[in-house]
């Protein structure tokens, strides 16, 4: 489920009448263990301009991806199998990589004194775009 091809190689500006592309030419780590949700999220992220979406279905695969490449943003499902993505979020923060938690459950408590950025599931392209724009400023 990894896309290594660049997204639109245009001017970087959305065509008239289309939404902004806050992830234009960026690389995103998607950590999601539900295949349907992952495929939908990949499509949304590409639509927001991602040059590459690397999908990891386990924390171990996400850790391997993080060790092997750099990312501009991560979208983390909180519950991954029997594990959570909280420790991975800590490593992302240590590396200065912004991340969003995606969850269908109540918002998690503050991590390291900071309230985590959250996008509730199910999310739409518009909801995810707004959350990313807020996160990236």
**Is the pTM above the cut of 0.85?**
no
Q: Could you tell me the domains of the chain?
A: 27-136 (3.40.50.2300)
Q: What's the start-to-end Cα distance of the chain, in Å?
A: 28
Q: Could you report the per-residue pLDDT of 20-57, keeping only the tens digit for each? A: 688 899 999 999 999 999 999 999 999 999 999 999 99
Q: Looking at the predicted structure, is the pLDDT value of residue 114 above 50? A: yes
Instruction: Report how far residue 70's alpha carbon sits from residue 130's, in angstroms, rounded to the nearest whole number.
Output: 23
The whole-angstrom separation of Cα 78 and Cα 26 is 22
Span of 101-105, 109-113, 123-127 with lowest mean pLDDT: 109-113
Sign of the CA dihedral running 94, 100, 104, 107:
positive
The count of other CB atoms within 10 Å of the CB of residue 58 is 13
């Amino acid at each position: 489920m990894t896309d290594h091809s660049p997204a639109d190689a245009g001017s970087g500006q959305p065509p008239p009448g289309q939404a902004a592309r806050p992830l234009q030419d960026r690389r995103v780590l998607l950590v999601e263990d539900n295949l349907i949700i992952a495929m939908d999220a990949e499509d949304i992220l590409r639509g927001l301009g991602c040059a590459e979406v690397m999908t990891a279905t386990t924390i171990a695969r996400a850790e391997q991806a993080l060790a092997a490449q750099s990312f501009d943003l991560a979208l983390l499902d909180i519950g991954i199998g029997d594990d959570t993505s909280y420790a991975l979020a800590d490593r992302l923060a240590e590396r200065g990589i912004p991340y969003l938690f995606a969850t269908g459950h109540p918002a998690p408590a503050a991590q390291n004194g900071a309230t985590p950025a959250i996008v509730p599931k199910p999310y739409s392209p518009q909801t995810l775009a707004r959350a990313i724009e807020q996160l990236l400023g």
